[in-house]
């Protein structure tokens, strides 16, 4: 099966030939299949943001290739705009990019630039608003009248409305309170499940990545250090800590219990941990066997 997204010996260098030359991405290779939910983690400066910006042609690789459904996205440079409709990008704090008079106009901006009919534009905008939990009564308001969380939803809906094959999210929950973060993440998961597209989620929250990702990329010092199932990556807590990353708290706790001799294995969520720990607790009126 042809991967929906593939990197082949991907490299990018800032300031080539100057005293400030810096290799941001070096020899990155991976294949992502249609429908996967990929987490991307790495410390600040690891190269993850540069890497994801090459996925839809916002940055052109210094060397190497990005393949979308088997085709080099830079094979026809004049058509790179069409690639950006198929690989949608949501930047950190995307609400800073809102500019239209109404929420509906902002969400419709991308589809309108795709040359769709007015009816199709409206349908896509309303469907996208529904995906991210925006009520109909908000669509005629100015986006600048909305709360921070609502603005974030408008910005994400604007990308979803283009119906991309791949949705790339760079810290979509940054700056939100815990409740707002959980709601938005749940909406993204629901969208992924219903749409069946591919998602790349960049996050500093190990808990968020552990909760939603099928596989996890770990960027370190411009290299792709790991790319494996979520459980396999987070089971390597010592290696992650050596590069400045922490595993989810519940994963760390279970790792400590396992080291102390308890019959448990790596867990990514509190629910998984409870399933293992409850049978180990003393029973009422006696002790566990």
The edge-to-edge listing of strands for the beta sheet with 5-14 is: 22-32, 5-14, 63-68, 71-72
State the pairing for strand pair 63-68/71-72. Answer: antiparallel
Predicted pLDDT of residue 55? 96
Residue 257, pLDDT score: 87
Q: What is the pLDDT of residues 128-157, one digit of tens each?
A: 999 888 989 999 999 888 888 888 889 999
Spans in the chain with pLDDT lower than 50:
none
**What pLDDT is attached to residue 54?**
97
Check residue 287 and give its pLDDT.
52
178-192 per-residue burial string, b: 16 or more CB within 10 A, e: under 16: eebbebbbebbeebb
User: Domain coordinates of the chain in residue numbers?
Assistant: 3-246
Q: What is the pLDDT of residue 286?
A: 53
pLDDT of residue 78: 94
Q: What is the pLDDT of residue 9?
A: 97
Enter the pTM of the model: 0.89
pLDDT of residue 129: 93
Architecture label for domain 3-246:
3-Layer(aba) Sandwich (3.40)
- Is the backbone of residue 32 left (phi > 0), alpha (psi -120 to 50) or beta? beta
């Amino acid at each position: 099966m042809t991967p929906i997204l593939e990197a082949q010996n991907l490299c990018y260098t800032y300031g080539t030939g100057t005293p400030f030359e810096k290799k941001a991405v070096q020899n990155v290779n991976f294949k992502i299949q249609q429908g996967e939910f990929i987490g991307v983690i790495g410390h600040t400066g690891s190269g993850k943001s540069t890497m994801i910006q090459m996925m839809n042609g916002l940055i052109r690789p210094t060397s190497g290739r990005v393949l979308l459904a088997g085709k080099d996205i830079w094979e026809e440079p004049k058509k790179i705009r069409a690639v950006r409709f198929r690989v949608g990008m949501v930047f950190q704090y995307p609400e800073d990019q809102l500019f239209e008079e109404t929420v509906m106009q902002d969400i419709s901006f991308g589809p309108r630039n795709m040359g769709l009919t007015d009816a199709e534009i409206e349908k896509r905008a309303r469907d996208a608003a529904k995906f991210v939990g925006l009520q109909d009564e908000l669509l005629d308001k100015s986006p600048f009248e909305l709360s921070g969380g609502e603005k974030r939803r408008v910005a994400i809906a604007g990308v979803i409305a283009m119906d991309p094959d791949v949705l790339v999210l760079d810290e979509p929950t940054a700056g939100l309170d815990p409740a707002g973060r959980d709601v938005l993440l749940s909406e993204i998961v629901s969208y992924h499940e219903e749409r069946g597209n591919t998602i790349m989620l960049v996050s500093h929250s190990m808990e968020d990545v552990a909760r939603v990702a099928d596989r996890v990329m770990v960027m370190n010092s411009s290299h792709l250090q790991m790319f494996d199932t979520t459980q396999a990556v987070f089971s390597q807590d010592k290696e992650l800590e050596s590069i400045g990353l922490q595993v989810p708290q519940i994963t760390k706790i279970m790792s400590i219990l396992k080291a102390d001799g308890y019959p448990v294995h790596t867990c990514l969520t509190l629910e998984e941990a409870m399933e293992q720990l409850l049978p180990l607790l003393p029973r009422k009126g006696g002790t566990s066997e």
